[in-house]
Structure 1
Amino acid sequence: MTTIFHIKNMVCDRCKMIVSQSLQEIGVSPISVELGVITVDSKVSLDQEQLRIVLERDGFELIVDKNEVIVEKIKSNLIDFVDPEIKHRDINVSTFLSEVMNRDYSVLSKLFSKMEDISIEKYIINLKIEKVKELIQMNVLSFSEIAYSMGYKSSSHLARQFKTVTELSMSEYKGMRQPQRKSLDQII
């Protein structure tokens, strides 16, 4: 038997590493650590208050509300969806989320919008723009290559969306001395 804990603000592999180290500090060897989820052997004695304290110290939160768990799962899956390394481009987001969450998209969408005060579609756009900012800063791909890697049909579509969200052109952003980016757990 296993016990599953849901964690808020886990958005990257580094987050998984930090949570794993935090668990080790309190003497717990997890079975698995995934984005937003840790699984431990149910035979392991784990003080939830101690877990909450160690997680909060590192900027994470233990989630107990059922709806919050669903929203965090949606966020984790959407982070995967927009990752240019993981190709989900052949299906739309509603199909993707319905399949990975095993729930009707309209239910997921309504819950997400209610709890986060933003639609899933706008959240995805914000995720993509933050990823585009990262790719611009890396200075390895052209704007057209960035657009293609992020699943845009054209670089002009990306450029318009980037300008709408950031109020800067991609060239202006690239020329900034101190580019402004948000961590993925701060996007809303």
Structure 2
Amino acid sequence: KKIIEFLEIHGFELISDKQTKMISHVKVLIDEVLSQEAEQSRRVKFSILLAESLNMNYDSISETFSASEGITLEHYIINKRIEKVKELLVYTDASLTEIAHQLGFSSVNHLSRQFKELIGLPPSLFKSIRLEKRNLAERIDS
């Protein structure tokens, strides 16, 4: 019990119940798949992947995830996909068309619409702002 209290004081928590383990597994799978999508330019159907990987009904997975995390599984995946878009915009020279294709968006417009909805800026403006900040940081470090 003292170990658990010590860990909690320092920002850690033990994954002890099935639900928490399942949610942790879902998050790891989503992260892995999004990284692979970017490398292999292929879209994965998360509902099928998660149901097969966890040997559970997708609706049960989704319901449990939403109840625990306070966000739907679909929105969580969209948020993670947009985080990957941000990463590619800042750290690669890939065009929006290439990024949309890599991450399985149906079109550049679809990517742009979701990006602006979540981030509040169009992807092109986000990229230019981030590049300016990076260039400024590099000049300061030089």
- TM (norm. structure 2) is 0.79
Rounded Cα–Cα distance in structure 2 between residues aligned with 1:157 and 1:136: 16
Task: Letter of the 1:63 partner, please give it.
Answer: I
Query: Whole-Å Cα distance in 2 between the matches of residues 147 and 168 of structure 1?
Result: 17
Structure-2 residue corresponding to 1:70: 22
Q: CA deviation at 1:56?
A: 7.7
Residues 1:92 and 2:42 aligned together: no
Out of 69, 75, 80, the residue aligned to residue 116 of structure 1 is 69
| TM alignment of 1:38-187, pairs within 5 A | 49=3, 53=7, 60-83=12-35, 84-85=38-39, 89=43, 91-176=44-129, 177-178=132-133
- Structure 1: give runs of 5+ residues left out of the alignment: 1-47, 180-188
Report how many residues are paired: 129
**More relative contact order in 1 or in 2 (CA 8 Å, sep 6+)?**
2
Relative distance call for 1:56 and 1:126 in structure 2 (3 A) is farther
Higher strand share: 1
Q: What letter corresponds to residue 64 of structure 1 in structure 2?
A: S
The runs of 4+ residues in structure 1 deviating greater than 6 Å are none
Q: Distance in 1 between matches of 2:15 and 2:40?
A: 27
**SS of residue paired to 2:87:** helix
Distance in 2 between the 1:97 and 1:134 partners? Answer: 24
- Aligned 8 A contact 1:81 1:88 in 2: no
Paired residues of 2:112 and 2:123 also in contact (CA < 8 A): yes
One-letter amino acid of the counterpart of residue 65, structure 2: F
Q: Distance in 2 between matches of 1:93 and 1:64?
A: 25
Contact preservation (8 Å) 2:62, 2:72: yes
Q: CA RMSD in A?
A: 2.5
Superposition deviation, residue 62 in structure 1: 2.2
Percent of residue pairs identical = 37
